[in-house]
Structure 1
Amino acid sequence: MANILISPSKYVQGAGEMKKLGTYAANCGKKALVLISAGGYKRIGKLVEDSFANNSCEVVFDYFNGECCNSEIDRLVQVVKNNNCDLTIGIGGGKIFDTAKAVAYYAGTPVFICPTIASTDAPCSALSVIYTAEGVFEKYLFLPANPNMVLMDTDIIAKSPVRLTVAGMGDALATYFEARACKRSGATSCAGGKTTEAAMALAELCFNTLMEEGVKAKLALETGVCTPAVEKVIEANTLLSGIGFESAGLAGAHAIHNGFTVLEECHHMYHGEKVAFGTLTQLVLENIPQEELEDIILWCIEVGLPVTLAELGADQVTDEQLMEVAKTACAETDTLHNMPFEVTPETVFAAIKAADAYGRYYLGEE
């Protein structure tokens, strides 16, 4: 099997880049559907409209209904067709990106992804995560191409809630460990082949950047400023993690996240927060040295990522419920089987309980 690396056609990151969106769009299409939340439109709608004002590309806005599910995708494909749009643009967060990518695929248009937050590694990928209308994980939709452009306006992202960028660090934390597991097992990546050395290098750079810059970036964001550390973390959360996970592979952390979607108690938590705990659970499954596990748990505590079930809102769940999480994580169609050893619901259940115990220990709760 071939080694494969895939990536977006163009990645743009810098202050004030959203002002140029209309210019970029005019090079790609004549009429663009912009998918955005109602709140997002209130915040930056005029900025986006102004960017199209002096360009040949027209713009049609539509508000996102809140869930990346088949009914919402079908609705928006019809909007694209009814308005004769030849470009789809998603502006906002992870579920908007995934919806915009799926809509562009089914409608046959190019797609631009414009994050206003740095909370997931979704922007760069040729992948949409599809949920039910109720928010339960349903399937991965693998797309034939990555976005035509990913545009990160760091002025806008630096003004977003700090918790969102921290959640992005949680999502990115999984990248290297899942990539390493896939390389050891020889698993096929999301790109459809074996990992390249380039993808592994990006995944490792992602992890090292988080460890070196994460706390500095969080402190800077809490004062509302964009520093070099913030720029590096935005790139790690988005580009390094995006290419790293897709071209090197997913394994335990994201499958365990998908398991936690069955718990109503965790629905208020962000994707990356659940992935962070999933990463700790994967590392327990791998039985990594205590010093390494300690460093990662303490880093999570320092930046504000959950390390216990209580912090996920799941301190009252029963062992039976946790076993359902473990069983869902072990679904045949999920990525837990990319681990380089056999994994069962029983071993995942034990790792979840142990990860919770370690988290409580380092928080000083035991």
Structure 2
Amino acid sequence: MRRAFISPAKYVQGENEILNLGYFIKTFGESALLIASKDDAARVKDKLVHTMKEYGVTIVESGFNGECSRQEVARLQQLAKEHNCACTIGLGGGKAIDAAKCVAEGEALIIVPTIAATDAPTSHSAVLYTPEGEFDDYAYFKQSPSVVLIDTTVIANAPTRFLVAGMGDALSTYFEARATAKSYSNVNAGLPCGRIEGVGEPAKGTKAALALAKLCYETLLEDGYKAKLASDANIVTPALENIIETNILLSGLGFESGGLAAAHAIHNGLTALEGAHHFFHGEKVAFTTIVQLVLENAHKEELDEVLGFCVSVGLPVCLADIGVHEVTREELMNVAVKACIPEESIHSMPFPVTPDDVVGAMIVADQLGQQFKARI
């Protein structure tokens, strides 16, 4: 059986860590292209100036337009070439990070998240959009980022909602990896969607990935609420440090090397419900994790544990919590059909899943969430 595990070459996390960014640039050369929104670049401007002086490097600002499109990627690659940049820095949220991955194409890439809202910073994939912001395609690269650099002081000063959303994304990691392991399904660490030539055959997950995914869940239960309080106060505590690592590193390694299953597929189906569009990825994944547990007929104790965690940190547990206050069975079926298309990860569940199964699980999960909130 072929197994695969993928990870960044280096992960570094600490207070004011951006002050050391120049050291990592220096390992590649004398200059780097910075891909970041104006606001994100301004938030850390003093640290960027300090690290350039400290390590004698140049950081070239790119004027990133905010959209990870093919056109913007081509412009940024040309800019990097004109300035002879030795590496690429993706600083900020998802689209800046994805644009940096596309520009670097798997080489000399430093990722510096300013929020801990998803597990995308460690991955070797990106999402491309049109210049108008509509989904275009997925992109996969031969390896994960060279360096993932986390400044916990910056993340502690970001709105807490981002951190909580990251916990929602991380919440699904263990349950999806567990399902993938039971079904012996392929994982993204192998050959993702057959889009990379010469990489080899698809691969199954490793025991290491499943163990990290389980640690991800255990750390959420142990430190999630305490980390939320620290974020509310904009201070770095051991609990916040643990949850930042959980949201970004443990969840990132867990999802790519452990596998995705029903939770993320049903999340993707939720694009059919307009009311859910204004909620973050991880907020919706928290609810769809409960849906997956219903599909699995999980023990009541496990369901209650997940529901209790979500309520404690402010994650959604029912459809109303993600903006869906009224919904018809036909609308839910549209979600379910999207979730069950042949290429979706729902087929990594250890049993066949039909759109009817998904509709039923969403209805029951919604009721469970409502009833749990009414009891507390």
Normalised to the residue count of structure 1, the TM-score between the two structures is: 0.94
Determine the structure 1 residue equivalent to 2:95: 95
In the alignment, structure 2 segments of 5+ residues that lack a partner are 191-202
| 2:107–2:145 Cα contact (<8 Å) kept | no
1:268 aligns with 2:278: yes
- Is the Cα contact below 8 Å between 1:266 and 1:312 reproduced in 2? yes
Q: Deviations over 1:50-80 (max 9, x none)?
A: 3113434322112443343434333433333
| Distance in 2 (alpha carbons) for counterparts of 1:139 and 1:155 | 34
Specify the alignment match of 2:198 in structure 1: none
Identity %: 50
Q: CA deviation at 1:38?
A: 1.7
Q: Which residue is equivalent to 2:292?
A: 282
One-letter identity of the residue aligned with 1:165: L
Partner deviation per Cα, 1:106-156 (whole Å, 9 max, x = no partner): xx7411000111111111111113345565555432221010000011111
- RMSD over aligned CA atoms reads 2.0
Quote the residue 2:228 is aligned against: 218
Worse-matched range after superposition: 87-96 or 133-142:
133-142
Distance 1:323 1:63, change over 3 A: farther
**What secondary structure is seen at the aligned counterpart in 2 of 1:292?**
helix
Q: Distance in 2 between matches of 1:304 and 1:35?
A: 32
- What secondary structure is seen at the aligned counterpart in 2 of 1:60? strand
8 A contact 1:277–1:307 mirrored in 2? yes
* Residue 163 (structure 2) aligns with: 165
What code does the residue aligned with 1:42 have? A
Question: For residues 159-183 of structure 1, what are the alpha-carbon distances to aligned partners after superposition, in whole Å with 9 as ceiling and x for unaligned?
Answer: 1111111111001001100100110
- 1:1-366 pair list within 5 angstroms: 1-105=1-105, 109-132=107-130, 137-192=135-190, 193-364=203-374
SS of the counterpart of 2:138? strand
| Gap runs ≥5 in structure 1 | none
Residue 358 of structure 1, CA deviation: 1.1
**d(CA) in 2 for partners of 1:13 and 1:95?**
21
| TM-score with structure 2 setting the length | 0.91
Is residue 23–residue 52 contact of structure 1 (8 Å, CA) maintained in 2?
A: no
Render the CA deviation track for 1:159-218: whole Å, top value 9, x for unaligned.
111111111100100110010011001011110121111111111000000011111111
Q: CA separation in 2, counterparts of 1:138 and 1:349?
A: 28
User: Which amino acid in structure 2 is aligned with residue 189 of structure 1?
Assistant: V
**Displacement, 1:286?**
0.8
Q: Tell me the distance in 2 between the aligned counterparts of 1:117 and 1:338.
A: 30
Alpha-carbon distance, 1:275 to partner: 1.2
**SS class of match (2:13):** strand
The residue aligned with 2:199 is none
| d(CA) in 2 for partners of 1:53, 1:17 | 15
